[in-house]
């Protein structure tokens, strides 16, 4: 059972990844991202998830340097954007991300979306970076089962992580089962459905019972389902509150009630018909 903010899951290659981190999607470059990352690190977070397309890697890097926390204690993730998918262009994109972050390596590098005809070459580039020891772990984001199967058909190295939209309205049962079976760690983006679940009555009832917020109940549900979670917030009190999910446990009935909210409803694009 996950006991605290620094607890980790062990990826298929033995690398330890925190169960809980801070996502910085839509957090503005400059003081906003610097301050939110610094408050997360100050309050015990050790995992930060960014991406080239978020255009805030420089601020994330600045916050890491200013935090004074040793690099090896941190787990930093970034992602290669669709326009850069290809063998050489993915390697170049990795260099650019490192440069912006001011880091010598990433803990996890992901292909952001499965752009047809492009993601296999990008995966080959990630394998090269991994084999050269330039990144600790590699994975994908927004991949359905058929994308994973397609990559794995030719891959030398299996993806270690699949980061997908995941929340009580989108339980991703098929993807989750496949990833469990294959030893691929599932990770949730938009775990709070961008705030759309906070007034849900089922979740409010469970939250009252445990004397917790709806957000805390959802994040606890992620963890009890074996899913790494990276809620985003720019407010320090919310960053702290989100992480206070280690002092209670949802019952089997709670978990079933939350599971029953699934409607396969997305707030983001469907990877199968996203206009890349």
Contacts of 199 (CB under 8 A, 6+ apart): 214
Q: Which residue is catalytic, options 54, 94, 119, 130?
A: 54
Q: How far apart, in whole angstroms, are the C-alpha atoms of residue 202 and residue 261? A: 8
Contacts of 148 (CB under 8 A, 6+ apart): 140, 159, 162, 178, 179, 182, 184
Retrieve residue 9's tokens: 């899951």
Contacts of 186 (CB under 8 A, 6+ apart): 161, 162, 163, 164, 166, 172, 175, 176, 179, 180, 226, 227, 228
Alpha carbon distance 124, 110 (integer Å): 12
Which residues, at least 6 apart from 61, have a Cβ–Cβ distance to it below 8 Å?
A: 100, 101, 102, 103
Give the span between the Cα atoms of 40 and 188, in whole angstroms: 18
The residue written with tokens 């963890």 in the block is: 223
Q: Residue 106 in contact with residue 136, Cβ under 8 Å?
A: yes
Angle at 179 between CA 14 and CA 53, to 5 degrees: 85
Three-state DSSP class for residue 91:
helix
**Helix%, strand%, coil% for the chain, nearest 5:** 45, 15, 40
For residue 238, with 0-12 CB atoms within 10 Å meaning exposed, 13-18 middle and 19 or more buried, which class applies? middle
Active site residue 54: yes
**Residue numbers annotated as active site:** 54
């Amino acid at each position: 059972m996950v006991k605290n903010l620094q607890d980790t899951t062990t990826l298929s290659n033995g690398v330890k990844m925190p169960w809980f981190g801070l996502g910085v999607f839509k957090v503005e470059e400059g003081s906003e991202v610097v301050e939110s990352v610094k408050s997360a690190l100050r309050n015990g977070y050790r995992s930060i998830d960014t991406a080239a397309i978020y255009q805030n890697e420089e601020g994330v890097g600045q916050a890491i340097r200013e935090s004074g926390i040793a690099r090896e204690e941190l787990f930093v993730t970034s992602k290669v954007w669709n326009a850069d998918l290809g063998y050489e262009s993915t390697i170049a994109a990795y260099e650019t991300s490192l440069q912006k972050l001011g880091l010598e390596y990433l803990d996890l590098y992901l292909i952001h979306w499965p752009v047809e005809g492009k993601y296999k070459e990008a995966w080959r580039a990630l394998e090269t970076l991994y084999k050269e020891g330039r990144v600790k772990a590699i994975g994908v984001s927004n991949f359905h089962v058929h994308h994973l199967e397609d990559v794995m058909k030719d891959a030398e190295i299996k993806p270690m992580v699949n980061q997908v939209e995941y929340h009580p309205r989108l339980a991703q049962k098929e993807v989750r089962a496949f990833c469990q079976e294959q030893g691929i760690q599932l990770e949730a983006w938009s775990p709070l459905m961008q705030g759309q679940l906070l007034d849900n009555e089922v979740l409010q009832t469970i939250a009252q019972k445990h004397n917790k917020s709806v957000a805390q109940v959802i994040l606890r549900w992620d963890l009890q389902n074996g899913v790494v979670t990276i809620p985003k917030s720019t407010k320090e009190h919310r960053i702290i509150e989100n992480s206070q999910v280690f002092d209670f446990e949802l019952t089997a009935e709670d978990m079933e009630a939350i599971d029953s909210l699934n409607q396969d409803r997305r707030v983001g694009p469907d990877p199968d018909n996203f206009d890349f």
